[in-house]
Amino acid sequence: MALQRFLRFLTLPRLLGLYIFLFCLVAVQNYLLGFGNYNNYLMFAKPFHNLLLDKSIYGLHPNLYFDNYKYSPTFAWLMGPFYYLPDWLGIILWNLLNTLVLLVGVWFYLSDEKDPAKQRRTALLIILLEALITAQNLQSNNLIVGAMLLGLYHLRNERVWQAAFFFVLCGFIKFYGMAAAGFFLFYPKKPQFILAMIAWTILLGSVPLTMIPLDHLLAEYREWFDVIVVSKLGLQVSVMGIAQAWFGMEKTDGNYRIIETIGAILFLLPFLRFGLWQDRLFQRRMVAYFLLFMIVFNKMAESPTYVLAVTGVALWWITLDAPTQLDQMLLAMVVIFTSLSPTDIFPAVVQRELFQPYNAKAVPCLLVWARVQYQIWTQPQTTNAQLLHAS
């Protein structure tokens, strides 16, 4: 009952305020806990120092941050303003930026819903815990998913240059963020969009030339590519981790490639329903399906990346006019096992002995992904008359 009263109290404006307050609060908490708790932020903000000195931004730089920088020279350039800020202020503004891009992305992407305010509130409630985990880790995933949704919003409204900007921006932070550009197939102005993608890629890719010469920049991009290729595997909170923990699959590149290939084929097959490409419900389901796929079949997936998958869950949920008991059960599993399992609500021994070894975080999202696929395949073909009526 208390939870129901709290949810009724949490109107959309209050929910937006809660996002901003909590995400800035965890930024302050990270700063107060000391250097080791905000190394992720330093790894984003401090490579600009090496650009200033025309030194490689890759490799180890323990005087600036720990771990290897795995992002593009363009991202290092874009983070320049944060380099000049005191760490405490930069951390707060970094989380604030990520939060605002996420909120704006959800806001505009859902702007064409029948009841946008209700759908925005529902989606943000589902995403909240997972986005907070990302904010606690000072990661860029909230910004990534928000920018992807903004790109999809502009693409849907045939503003191809704005759409391409957001997709390319994502690509210069994390490669997979650019993959959402593939949805241009559903919309008109395809040649213009491709031109815009090329133009933004060249423009954003060239901005570090304001600081370093061309041959050095090309060397940095080659090194970035090498870093990505040789990156060690993440925690594998994904199908790969499930296959290892539940079925004893051997941890080899060959096995991972098999799973990735199967996942890619399953993901691409619904695109064969050409007659539904212009159907709004199909498009919305495919976006949810895509966001889930990007994480569930990602061998580098870890807990802070799951804001993308849970955003996919939220976007799937709001497509359901009348959720079945199965749908409700799946959403409850996502909330409990995906979003709450890493938190202190469960004892550490349960997390250590049960949730982590058996990849409990990934399982509900995999089940939702399968459910979305079933709903996509069983969606009836839309006639031209129905399309005209829907528009």
Same-domain status, 274 and 319: yes
Q: Does residue 268 belong to any structural domain of this protein?
A: yes
Total domain count, the chain: 2
* C-alpha pair distances (Å), 382 with each of 34, 209, 312, 323, 387: 57, 50, 23, 21, 7
Q: What is the mean pLDDT of residues 48-73?
A: 91
Q: Tell me: the pLDDT tens digits for 159-188?
A: 999 999 999 999 999 888 899 999 999 999
Residue indicated by tokens 């997390």: 351
Residues of the domain holding 346? 234-391
Same-domain status, 291 and 320: yes
Q: Does residue 3 belong to any structural domain of this protein?
A: no
Q: Give the per-residue pLDDT at 387.
A: 46
Same-domain status, 149 and 279: no
Q: What is the mean pLDDT of residues 341-345?
A: 84
d(CA 64, CA 43): 8
Q: Categorize the per-residue pLDDT at 235 as very low, low, confident or very high, splitting at 50, 70 and 90.
A: low
**At which of 231, 252, 286 does a domain end?**
231
Q: What is the mean pLDDT of residues 311-327?
A: 96
Q: Does residue 7 belong to any structural domain of this protein?
A: no
Same-domain status, 143 and 239: no
Same-domain status, 225 and 323: no
**At which of 198, 215, 231 does a domain end?**
231
Q: Give the per-residue pLDDT at 344.
A: 80
Q: Does residue 67 belong to any structural domain of this protein?
A: yes
Q: What is the mean pLDDT of residues 201-224?
A: 95
Give the list of residues 6+ apart from residue 62 with CB closer than 8 angstroms, or none.
none
- pLDDT-above-90 percentage for the chain: 73
Q: Give the per-residue pLDDT at 389.
A: 43
**Phi/psi at 177 (5° precision):** -65, -25
Q: Does residue 172 belong to any structural domain of this protein?
A: yes
- pLDDT-above-70 percentage for the chain: 95
Q: Which of 33-47, 98-112, 242-256, 367-381 has the lowest mean pLDDT?
A: 242-256
Q: Give the per-residue pLDDT at 390.
A: 46
User: Across all residues in the chain, what is the average pLDDT?
Assistant: 91
Same-domain status, 254 and 335: yes
Q: Does residue 145 belong to any structural domain of this protein?
A: yes
Same-domain status, 180 and 239: no
Same-domain status, 244 and 223: no
Q: Which of 147-161, 228-242, 304-318 has the lowest mean pLDDT?
A: 228-242
Same-domain status, 281 and 356: yes
Q: Does residue 102 belong to any structural domain of this protein?
A: yes
Q: Does residue 64 belong to any structural domain of this protein?
A: yes
Q: Give the per-residue pLDDT at 384.
A: 47
Q: Give the per-residue pLDDT at 196.
A: 97
Q: What is the mean pLDDT of residues 14-30?
A: 95
Residue type, 298: N
**At which of 204, 231, 258 does a domain end?**
231
